[in-house]
Amino acid sequence: MRQPHDERNKRDLRAAFDAAVAAADPGSALTPHLPAPPAGRLLVVGAGKAAAAMARAVDAHYGPEVALTGVVATRYGHAVDAGRIAVREAGHPVPDAAGVEATREIVELVLNAGEDDLVLCLVSGGGSALLCAPDGLSLDDLAAVTEALLRSGADIQEINCVRKHLSGVKGGRLALAAAPARIVTLVVSDVVGDDPAAIASGPTVADPTSYQDALTVLDRYGIAASAARAQLAAGARGERQDTPKPGDPRLAAARTVVVASAQTALDGAAGALSARGWQAHVLSDAIAGEARVVAGVHAALARQVLVRSQPFRRPCALLSGGETTVTVRGAGRGGRNGEFALACALALPEGAPIWLLAADTDGIDGTGENAGAILGPSETAACRGAGGAAALARNDSYTLLESVGGLLVTGPTRTNVNDLRVLLIA
């Protein structure tokens, strides 16, 4: 049975998502931070789900009098016309040959940079997979270890620690290739804490981690990956040159600015909900952990509001950002936001007047075509009746949510500031 105002509340959730994406639009976020043209050439490179939209804004900003050229890599389906900047599409989240070729073009461009040139690097979430230059192992071996890490439950910092030490461009190495040119990196952050060294594996940023740290990650999650281990072990023995570390003078000419983040999106979503009459409360922009565990905590908070009017009185909206993880144990289909939504629905009190959204701001949850899910009380009840607990156990949130009409499909947004979660408590 549908609750009063069911469709209106779902529209409010969708409006919150749209406002979050608009607030983190790469074009509007980027423009105030663009540097003055250099005496020489402006060389634009970059990688990520927002890279094409960022490149389009750069091309529009600088007039024809600026000697501008460039190459950026983005995920399949995320390309836009960026004028003088070539846009290449490649595989994500598992790297492919198209990513290797795009990275080769990027490296060739920066290797030709001179002292009067400026390298403008555009970085956003997804860049770790797209900026791909396997170092000492094959693309197949790199793809295999990447896939194993993505299924292991490792967080993005751990995954990127390994990626940096298996790459010829990550962890500050792209900046080394660009010397002696000055480098400015503009970042759309998809990482909890907005650490530039972790976003897209920090291609122009000093790396505080080591080969031994990367080996420890593989050990922690029981990942065999013999070829990757051999390269990391050689590095740990000092047989391979490590990534540049903080304080390295070779990176003295590199400057990095985070232009949009999860907090940017949360502020946009909260503003939209406030305009629609909800008391909006941002819980945190840095929530991480196993998706189903985080969902249980959100459901407990919602119950406290519903039953005790603590810490907020209803009607209200609870918002959070960050990035959860999923340890894949089953053979089902679904991303971290679908897993959150299903687990939260199962944990909410039966019949509660609560509507929820969980979605990735890039419009793609995992490898599906959905951004995540929107559920009202009727869909929440349907999740229980359709075997939601069994679906959650086999990591099959997509199939279950599709069956109850709970999927949120937006298409690529061409930005990426991590996840948005909203609970409306009427």
Give the E-state strand segments of 57-178 in sequence order: 68-75, 85-90, 118-124
Number of other CB atoms surrounding residue 320 within 10 Å: 24
Report how far Cα 170 is from the mean position of its chain's Cα atoms: 17
Specify the pLDDT at position 367.
77
Specify the pLDDT at position 1.
45
| Backbone angle region of 259, left / alpha / beta, with phi > 0 → left and psi within -120 to 50 → alpha | alpha
CA distance to 36, 106, 116, 182, 407, per residue, from 178 (Å): 19, 10, 12, 8, 44
Tokens, residue 133? 């230059």
Specify the pLDDT at position 4.
62
- Which domains are delineated in the chain? 6-22+263-425 (3.40.1480.10), 26-133+168-207+243-260 (3.40.50.10180)
Tokens 């990757």 locate to: 228
Show the DSSP H helices in 328-376 as ranges: 336-347
Task: Report the alpha-carbon distance of residue 13 to residue 116 in Å, rounded.
Answer: 49
Residues constituting the chain: 426
Tokens, residue 240? 């391979």
> pLDDT below 50 — which residues of the chain?
1
In terms of DSSP bridges, do strands 68-75 and 254-260 run parallel, antiparallel, or are they unpaired?
unpaired
Pick the closest to residue 417 from 170, 205, 124, 186 (CA basis). Answer: 124
61's CB contacts (< 8 A; 6+ apart) are: 31, 34
Task: Count Cβ neighbours within 10 Å for each residue of 340-377 and write b for 16 or more, e otherwise.
Answer: bbbbbbbbbeeebbbbbbbbbbbbbbbebebbbbbbbb
Pick the closest to residue 72 from 46, 43, 105, 108 (CA basis). Answer: 46
Tokens, residue 385? 């009746």
Q: Residue 35: is the preceding peptide bond cis (ω within 30°)?
A: no
Residue type, 345: A
Specify the pLDDT at position 3.
61
- For residue 76, which phi and psi values (nearest 5 degrees)? -50, 135
Number of other CB atoms surrounding residue 404 within 10 Å: 21
